[in-house]
Amino acid sequence: MTSKEKESRKKTANLIIKDELDRAGIMGSISKFKSEELPIETVGIMGDQRTYQKVVCVQILSKNSQPTNLPYDVLEAISSRITNEIPGINKVVYDVTPKDKGLTL
């Protein structure tokens, strides 16, 4: 996969996150969000087939720069859309590490 393809997948994932946060009406309480494709592959099931594809890590920070406690239905919508709409992704994880100790946005 080229870096151009990887960047396109990241952009699409970020658009999905923004869309779902807007749809849930909670974008106003969010300061930053991002997605990162991890350099690992995991086993997943799509249809009746096993797949070996990439993982996307999602981080969403509230206005106080802490991980946001999102409703499960919002996380589920983000995960479902990313795995269904972005080829090559079969798993989404949510980063709950505080900003000062984890991934920097």
30, 62 Cβ separation under 8 angstroms: yes
Calculate what percentage of the chain has a pLDDT beyond 70.
Answer: 92
Mean pLDDT of 26-34: 91
Q: How far apart are CA 83 and CA 88, in angstroms?
A: 8
Angle at 18 between CA 13 and CA 20, to 5 degrees: 95
Cα dist. 9→13, 48, 69, 99 in Å? 6, 24, 25, 23
Query: Is the pLDDT score of 4 beyond 80?
Result: yes
Q: How confident is residue 34, by pLDDT bands cut at 50, 70 and 90?
A: very high
pTM: 0.88
Mean pLDDT of 50-56: 94
Q: Which domains does the chain have, with CATH numbers?
A: 3-94 (3.30.300.10)
37 strand-pairing partners = 56
Mean pLDDT of 64-71: 78
